């Protein structure tokens, strides 16, 4: 049995995990974002709910563990930002601690019990507030020690001419400090920025997608350009990783029609030809971070036992 957590800026979700199919959530608690001792106390209160000694603790965080220093980069929880989080928590809790990025945990969940189950290579994609991703091979994260593997949303690769007929696009500034990132134009906010650029009209991403499905002309043009910008980089990721399934989570994945359109556009651009969908909606819609953290911990325990 392991104890797992999904650490958010507002709430900490915890669970006792006996297997990937037997994860028992406990009531969530507010995140003490400025007080590390209080943060540890919340984790201890969940661990204390177990009738047996956990074999380890696993955390999903909205941040990155720097593989060079082991320090956490977690902007939404200042009390853990900059700490050697695994090391500090192991000292405080007296248990082995594993930490992974929330997008990586999402992909672990999909590979373990979701759309990627049975696939050897799974590349998972987040299309929401940001564009993220993660890579699982043979049930294990490719970046188990931390780092930025799978972060396909960043890098100056967005097309500057896209759509049919092509339209010229600027290299939109990205929050990472670069310009021309997929994150800056293909996230939910990026789609809104693209629509504003094309039509001088402010609409939410939900409205753009709904209008596209209703065949509204302006929204249809926006989605046409959006798909062209998105599909090329994602096809390259598929070629490079050899993934045989790409589960998609995040707010934009709520539109099945959009995911189906992305799938068609990506499959038209990859080397390997699939006669079935490659880009699919994620199946773990509820608590993927918690499920992924559980699988992270359970995989570690299993590896030590063999």
Are the beta carbons of 13 and 51 closer than 8 angstroms?
no
Q: Which of 21-35, 59-73, 232-246 has the lowest mean pLDDT?
A: 59-73
Let me know if residue 201 belongs to a domain.
yes
Give buried/exposed letters for 153-188 (b at 16+ CB in 10 A, else e): bbeeebbeebbeeebebeebebeeeeebbbbbbbbb
Short-list 22, 250, 246, CA closest to 116: 246
| Residues pairing with 7 in the sheet | 12, 61
Longest Cα separation, the chain:
64
pLDDT-derived band at 305, boundaries 50, 70, 90: confident
* 197 within some domain: yes
pLDDT tens by residue, 136-195 = 999 999 887 777 889 999 999 999 999 999 999 999 999 889 999 999 999 999 999 999
pLDDT at 224: 98
Query: What is the rounded CA–CA span in Å between residue 182 and residue 205?
Result: 16
**Sign of the four-CA dihedral 285, 132, 247, 190:** positive
Total number of domains constituting the chain:
2
The pLDDT confidence band at residue 301, using thresholds 50, 70 and 90, is confident
CA distance 74 to 81: 5
Report pLDDT digits (tens) over 116-152: 999 999 999 999 989 999 999 999 998 877 778 899 9
Q: What residues form DSSP beta bridges with 69? A: none
Within this chain, do residues 58 and 160 fall inside the same structural domain, yes or no?
Answer: no
Looking up residue 27, the CATH number of its domain turns out to be 3.30.420.40
Q: Are residues 224 and 254 in the same domain?
A: yes
Say yes or no: 33 and 165 in one domain. no
- Whether the per-residue pLDDT at 9 is higher than 80: the answer is yes
Cα dihedral 74, 24, 126, 31, rounded to 10, equals -30
pLDDT for position 68: 87
DSSP per residue, 173-209: B-TTS-BS-THHHHSHHHHHHHHHHHHS----HHHHH
Q: Please check whether residue 242 lies inside any domain of the structure.
A: yes
Find the length of the chain. 306
Domain check: are 275 and 293 in the same one?
no
* Together in a domain, 43 and 124: no
Tell whether 139 and 258 lie within a shared domain.
Answer: yes
User: Are residues 21 and 40 both part of a single domain?
Assistant: yes
In a domain, 248, yes or no: yes
Residue 269 pLDDT class (50, 70, 90 cuts): very high
Distances (CA, A) of 260 to 35, 45, 257: 44, 43, 5
Average pLDDT, the chain: 95
Is the Cβ–Cβ distance between 149 and 134 less than 8 Å? yes
**Structural domain that includes position 296:** 2-105+286-305
Residue 34: CB atoms within 10 Å? 10
- Does 166 lie in the same domain as 221? yes
Distance CA 65, CA 81 (A): 10
């Amino acid at each position: 049995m392991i104890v797992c957590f999904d650490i958010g800026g507002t709430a900490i979700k915890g669970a006792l995990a006996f297997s990937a199919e037997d994860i028992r959530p406990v009531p969530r608690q507010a995140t003490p974002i400025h007080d590390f001792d209080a943060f540890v106390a919340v984790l201890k209160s969940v661990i204390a709910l177990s009738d047996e000694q956990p074999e380890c603790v696993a955390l999903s965080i909205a941040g990155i563990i720097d593989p060079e220093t082991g320090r956490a980069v977690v902007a939404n929880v200042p009390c853990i930002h900059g700490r050697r989080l695994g090391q500090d928590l192991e000292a405080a809790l007296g248990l082995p601690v594993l930490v992974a990025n929330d997008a990586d945990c999402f992909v672990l969940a999909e590979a373990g019990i979701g759309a990627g189950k049975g696939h050897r290579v799974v590349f998972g994609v987040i299309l929401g507030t940001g564009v993220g991703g993660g890579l699982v091979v043979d049930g294990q994260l490719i970046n188990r020690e931390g780092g930025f593997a799978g972060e396909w949303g960043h890098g100056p690769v967005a097309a500057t001419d896209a759509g049919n007929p092509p339209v010229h696009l600027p290299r939109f500034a990205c929050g990472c400090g670069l310009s021309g990132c997929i994150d800056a134009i293909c996230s939910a906010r990026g789609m809104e920025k693209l629509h504003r650029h094309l039509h001088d009209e402010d609409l939410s991403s939900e409205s753009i997608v709904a209008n596209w499905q209703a065949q509204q002309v302006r929204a249809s043009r926006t989605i046409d350009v959006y798909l062209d910008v998105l599909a090329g980089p994602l096809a390259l990721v598929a070629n490079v990783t050899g993934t045989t399934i790409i589960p998609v989570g995040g707010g934009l994945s709520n539109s099945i029609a959009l995911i189906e359109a992305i799938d068609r556009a990506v499959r038209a651009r990859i080397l390997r030809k699939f006669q079935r969908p490659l880009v699919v909606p994620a199946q773990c819609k509820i608590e993927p971070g918690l499920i992924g953290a559980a699988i992270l911990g359970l995989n570690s325990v299993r590896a030590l036992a063999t």
